[in-house]
Amino acid sequence: MNKPIQIAVVGHTNAGKTSLLRTLTRRQDFGEISDRPGTTRHVEAIDLKIDGASAVRFFDTPGLEDSVTLADYLKSLEHCITPPDRVRAFLSGPEARGSFEQEAKVLRKMLEVDAAIYVIDTREAVLPKFRSEIEILTSCAKPIMPVLNFVRHRDSRKEEWRTTLAAYNLHAYVQFDAVAPFVGSEKKLYQDLLTLLQDYRSAILQVIRDLELQFQERRQAGSRIIAGLLVDMAALRRELPKEEFDRPDRKSAVVAELQNIASDGMRRSVSDLLDVYGFREDDANEAVLPWLQGRWETDLFNPETLKEAGKRLGAGAAVGATIGLAADIASAGLTLGTGSMLGAAIGGIASQGWGPFSRKIANQARGIQEVSLENEVLLVMAEHMVRLLWALERRGHAAMGKVVVEGDASGTLRQEMKALIQAVQPARSHSEWDASHTKKHIRSSQREKTVQQVMGHVGKIIALQTQDEI
């Protein structure tokens, strides 16, 4: 790749210029973000790299603070033939080193770059200072792409801004909330830049392709994290002689062990997912923190949570919901004294394939009890992780608040979640896939096939959620 495309990011003070650059470059540490006016005082460069080479060089510029006075001054330079001539005359004069020092930094960079991104805080009314700002920026005769920020805010005046921009022949624009970007808004920004910078067509197309590839790689990596967690947890199993299982202290110890393993698996997976999307653990909100800190009491084994999960899974999918663990066919309808659950237990086993059923019958004959995580627990894990992945895909790297994991699945998504749990069931026949027993943990081709199938279901669910938003 040759010389990078040079783009100045301009706009009024506190419009969100630095925030936009953090999101576009996925650099949480770039610049300084504050509610104080004039946080950025100097022009600062940051590169978007592809394969180690700079593809786009962005320039974060100071905010324009006194555009009305400066616009009047530029109009007074009547000896200049064109608007760019007036800007150059201003930059060579004493005013550029005095009261308009900050504006001079912006205009000097505007004359040097290939194009500009004009960031607009749509919560602001279209005041005279903003009209003067547009006049000054267009005087530099460089292609300008307006970016409408904060358009989701209840006070957004998006339509007023669109009308104003059109009055200055700025008809193309992008809605791009730097804190919570719209799905596809990053791609649209570069596609619109492509119409303004035809000489850089091949370079911009390469950026678009690379960004799409990175997006798919992140989604695939996130889906693999979720699939690996579910397969590991479905394979998790402990076998106990009946006499040990009948001892409350021994059974409680096994239950606690599996709960801790499940909690630790969630913690690692949540941490890995945040890392894949370039966020820190301290970006997580209260809905995520329990998993990071290894606490499962909040949701994972909460009886009410599991009861609701059982309703979503439907008949034949749940065993032993009252304790959050399944002591399956050899004990579920017998040892726990809940004979009515035997049919559900058999239904659940049949849904897992008859291989596990044969093993269970053999264990029953040997007096062996099996304890494993039930499908409700797997569903709670899956729903939380899928919602987290979706939230991270929609989060900008300038976000100051915590990651918000919320929402409830629609009917279609619930059916897909059931299909996801169904796809995990083959792991119940393979205790050797249990990652908590590292000595015997085997990552076989059959395990990989199961993980791939589960990944496909995760990807489909995320795509459906995205489609619902659009």
pLDDT in tens, 365-401: 455 677 788 888 888 889 888 888 888 887 765 555 5
Rounded distance between C-alpha atoms, residue 34 and residue 381, angstroms: 36
Rounded distance between C-alpha atoms, residue 16 and residue 188, angstroms: 18
Query: Is 358 a residue whose pLDDT tops 60?
Result: no
Cβ atoms of residues 375 and 317 within 8 Å: yes
Q: 157 and 243, same structural domain?
A: no
Token pair, residue 30, equals 């770039």
Q: 286 and 244, same structural domain?
A: yes
Q: What is the domain-level CATH number for residue 90?
A: 3.40.50.300
Rounded distance between C-alpha atoms, residue 287 and residue 307, angstroms: 19
| Boundary-marking domain end, from 167, 196, 225 | 196
| Boundary-marking domain end, from 196, 227, 244 | 196
Q: Would 46 be classed as within a structural domain? A: yes
Lowest mean pLDDT: which of 4-18, 84-98, 359-373, 449-463? 359-373
Helix/strand/coil percentages in the chain, nearest 5:
55, 10, 35
Question: pLDDT (tens digit, 9 = 90+) per residue, 158-196?
Answer: 999 999 999 999 998 988 776 556 567 788 888 889 989
Question: pLDDT (tens digit, 9 = 90+) per residue, 260-292?
Answer: 888 888 888 988 988 888 877 776 655 555 555
Helix (H) or strand (E) holding 250: helix 248-276
Q: 120 and 222, same structural domain?
A: no
Q: 169 and 223, same structural domain?
A: no
Q: What is the dihedral of CA 122, 125, 128, 132, to 10 degrees?
A: 0
Q: Would 332 be classed as within a structural domain? A: yes
Burial readout 19-34 (b: 16 or more C-beta within 10 A, e: otherwise): bbbbbbbebbebbebe
Cβ atoms of residues 164 and 185 within 8 Å: no
Q: Would 31 be classed as within a structural domain? A: yes
Helix (H) or strand (E) holding 58: strand 53-60
Expressed as residue numbers, the domain containing 393 is: 214-469
Could you tell me whether strands 368-373 and 325-327 are parallel, antiparallel, or unpaired per DSSP bridges? antiparallel
Q: 9 and 153, same structural domain?
A: yes
| Boundary-marking domain end, from 161, 196, 231 | 196
